[in-house]
Amino acid sequence: MSAWEPVIGLEMHVELDTRTKMFCGCAVTKGDDPNSHTCPVCLAHPGALPVVNQRAIEYAARIALALHCTVQPRNIFHRKNYFYPDLPKAYQISQYDEPLATEGWFDYWVDGETLRCRINRVHMEEDAAKLIHAGGDAGRIAGSDYSMVDFNRGGTPLVEIVTEPDIPSPEAARELLQQLRNLVVELGVSECNMEEGQIRWDANVSVRPEGSTGLGTRTELKNMNSFRYLQQALDAEIPRQIEVLEAGGTIALETLHFDPGTGTTTPLRSKEEAHDYRYFPEPDLVPLVIDPVWVEGLRATQPELPAARVQRFTGQYGLSRADAVVLGSSASMAGFYEEVVAAGAAAKPAANWTMGEYLAHLNAAGLEAGHGHVTAERLAKLVKLVEGGTVSTSSGKEVFALMIEERAEPEAVVEKHGLGQISDAPELETAVARVIAGNPAQVEQYRGGKQQVLGFLVGQVMKATGGRANPQLVNELLRAALDG
Amino acid sequence: MIGEDDVRYVAKLARLRLEQDEIARMTSELGKILSHIDKMGELDTTGVPPTAHVLDVANVTRADKPSESLPRAEALRNAPAVSDDCFRVPKMG
């Protein structure tokens, strides 16, 4: 049986954080009362005309530039026709064969390796309204099931990013989306809040004999909004396709739904729902002619993006590439790390503490960098205490945990809990003498020439002092006592 | 030439329910419209750029400044039914 390899392509939809909608002046808001931000345009009243939001073009172009796409000198809008209650016009204004931007690429990291995914296009469109499904509960008369439509979201500016089928694994797909999300957040054009559905994506997946270059028939996984589900869905769909093909079957071009409960993919009614969107140029909107000078102005004012920052971290702070990726690929983590360094901690130990204890704390508490219970200044103080020998490395970890528990400064924790490193010879000599007296056999071995036993004895002294003894001093004192 | 199956397909996409006599009439009427379009296709358009819009205008945009929305009661006035301040519609399958 030959081996198979998956080929994955993604489409990501991002709601832009503009103040107003794509084609009308209604405010874009979250959590307001239903249908409080609507007007004749976004409710599709007859005769109402759309006008393009200038800021939405800018934000979309910023995304396109960050993905190395060519912003097209001329682009137009199309109508994508379909009937659904969340779409009052019965068409979505989108872009089709003359989109805002085409042909770019995105470099992302998987296990420290850089992969490149080509970007097919970046285009603008409008979001649909929100449907709330209700009814059907006990006590209701038959046929009372209904849906409710809140048009506040209807018409929100959306950018769609379409990749080429360049992604080699479910894990890579998840990494790409996470890193692409970071990129968009850092551009300042969307918060990409996942819980509010500000980003959603579709995945196209097919399999082919390993090493071949053609593409197999793909299936589409629609409207996912969790990184984990995306990976799980692909992990389920790829073996399904391989199984079908190995049994001599063929893959149907269809849209699938992933059920996280059962971990399986099942087809949405494919034939009936065969989409024929009958795209045609939107007669209500005139073409956009993009001034190249304006594009260059945007390019010159792009913020520092993750790839550039990772590069800078390796140079400026002398970090390994792997460490620079952990610390530099998201703005929040990078910002925190740079604050720790700016507060006086040395770059390398600051990196170790940020990636070690601090990141573990964030993960355990489910918090984003900068929102943990240890500030950058406090972490910098702790790093300095450890580097200066006031606190041992192992006690430092305890201090860190107590800083969170007590929301306290490291010095206060060290003082209160007596966690300072013991570098006082008379104090340690007592402990050393006790360990020598308590381990006669090992002392005998050491004196008999087995030097490595010293490590065991140092460990005993460390244990007796709760990890606070200065290990180097213990070493010296033990040698002096045993050799003398 | 357009056939009855094409008309049924387009009607379905447009969510229109057509009776058999209507399908026959539409097939004939749409056929005439399409043959008129075919007639225009006989024109030599070499060197004429595709034109989707009759106005020679570009870049009609607006600043990202909020304007007043409709009062909710006003917005909901055209709703066939209202539930919890929302437009109430039949449940989609």
Query: Is the confidence at residue A135, as pLDDT, over 70?
Result: no
Our CA-based measurement puts residue B85 at a distance from the nearest CA of chain A, in whole angstroms, of 6
Of A37, A76, A287, the CB nearest to B69: A37
Q: How confident is the model at residue A215 (pLDDT cuts 50, 70, 90)?
A: confident
Query: Is the confidence at residue A136, as pLDDT, over 60?
Result: no
Q: Do A35 and B57 touch (CB under 8 A)?
A: no
Query: Is the confidence at residue A452, as pLDDT, over 50?
Result: yes
Q: Return mean pLDDT, chain A.
A: 88
Distance separating alpha carbons of residues A173 and A237, to the nearest angstrom: 14
Q: Do A34 and B84 touch (CB under 8 A)?
A: yes
Q: How confident is the model at residue B18 (pLDDT cuts 50, 70, 90)?
A: very high
Output the six-digit token pair for A132: 């709330």
Q: Which range has highest mean pLDDT (A261-275, A379-393, A417-431, B28-42)?
A: B28-42
User: What pLDDT, on a 0 to 100 scale, did the predictor assign at position A484?
Assistant: 67
Residue range A324-352, pLDDT digits in tens: 988 998 888 999 999 999 998 888 998 99
Task: Report the 10 Å Cβ neighbour count for B76.
Answer: 20
Query: Is the confidence at residue A270, as pLDDT, over 60?
Result: no
Output the six-digit token pair for A263: 């971990």
Mean pLDDT of A443-458: 86
**Nearest Cα residue in chain A from B16:** A83
Domains of chain B, with CATH numbers?
Answer: 1-43 (1.10.20.60)
User: What pLDDT, on a 0 to 100 scale, did the predictor assign at position A477?
Assistant: 85
Of A27, A38, A283, the CB nearest to B75: A38
Output the six-digit token pair for A455: 């490590």
Q: Do A35 and B86 touch (CB under 8 A)?
A: yes
Query: Is the confidence at residue B93, as pLDDT, over 90?
Result: no
Please name which of A61, A60, A62, A50 lies closest in space to residue A25, comparing C-alpha atoms. A50
Using a cut of 0.90, tell me whether the model's pTM lies above it.
no
Q: How confident is the model at residue A138 (pLDDT cuts 50, 70, 90)?
A: very low
- B-chain residues near A131 (CB < 8 A): 92
Is residue A265 a contact partner of residue A257, using CB atoms and an 8 Å limit? yes
- B-chain residues near A285 (CB < 8 A): 60
Domains of chain A, with CATH numbers?
Answer: 4-298 (no CATH), 305-417 (no CATH), 425-483 (1.10.10.410)
User: What pLDDT, on a 0 to 100 scale, did the predictor assign at position A141?
Assistant: 39
- A-chain residues near B84 (CB < 8 A): 34, 134, 148
DSSP annotation of A330 reads S
Query: Is the confidence at residue A127, as pLDDT, over 90?
Result: yes
Task: Report the 10 Å Cβ neighbour count for A456.
Answer: 14
Is residue A202 a contact partner of residue A223, using CB atoms and an 8 Å limit? yes
- Mutate one of A16, A21, A35, A76 to test the B interface: name it (highest B CB count within 10 A): A35
- A-chain residues near B52 (CB < 8 A): 76, 281, 283, 287
Residues of B contacting chain A (CB within 8 angstroms): 13, 15, 52-53, 55, 57-70, 72, 75-76, 78, 81, 83-92
**Nearest Cα residue in chain B from A35:** B72
Q: Kindly state whether A39 is in contact with chain B, defined as any CB-CB distance less than 8 angstroms.
A: yes
* Between A24 and A85, residue with greater pLDDT: A24
Of B15, B52, B86, the CB nearest to A149: B86
Distance separating alpha carbons of residues A465 and A459, to the nearest angstrom: 10
Distance separating alpha carbons of residues A281 and A67, to the nearest angstrom: 26
Q: How confident is the model at residue A2 (pLDDT cuts 50, 70, 90)?
A: low
Q: How confident is the model at residue A184 (pLDDT cuts 50, 70, 90)?
A: very high
ipTM of the complex: 0.88
- A-chain residues near B70 (CB < 8 A): 38-40, 43
Is residue A159 a contact partner of residue A63, using CB atoms and an 8 Å limit? yes
Query: Is the confidence at residue A84, as pLDDT, over 90?
Result: no
Is residue A458 a contact partner of residue A413, using CB atoms and an 8 Å limit? no
H helix intervals, A317-448: 321-328, 331-342, 347-353, 359-365, 376-387, 393-406, 410-417, 425-438, 440-447
Residue range B38-92, pLDDT digits in tens: 998 889 988 888 777 778 888 999 999 999 999 999 999 989 899 889 999 887 6
Output the six-digit token pair for A368: 């984003």
Using the Cα atoms of residue A311, residue A183, residue A231 and residue A262 in order, give the sign of their dihedral: positive
